[in-house]
Amino acid sequence: MINKPTVGDVYQLITTEVKVIDENAPKKDVIDVLLSGSNTANYVYVVNALG
């Protein structure tokens, strides 16, 4: 029997950490940002100035 996911199970998958990177960053840095942190991200915001 498969257990139904609880709200707590789903909440643990949600991240509120915003991932940003400078528009001139090399591709390797983009990959590093995507894979950093406790959860991997499917997206990263590219900005024209960090600061």
- Reported as a pLDDT band with limits 50, 70 and 90, residue 1 is low
Domain assignment present for 1: no
**Closest among 9, 6, 7, 48 to 25, alpha carbons compared:** 48
For the chain, give the mean pLDDT. 80
Instruction: Count up the domains in the chain and report the number.
Output: 1
| pLDDT at residue 26 is higher than 90 | yes
Of the candidates 14, 26, 22, 12, the one whose C-alpha atom is nearest the C-alpha of residue 44 is 22
Domain ranges, residue 13: 7-47
pLDDT for 36-51, tens place per residue?
A: 866 666 778 888 875 5
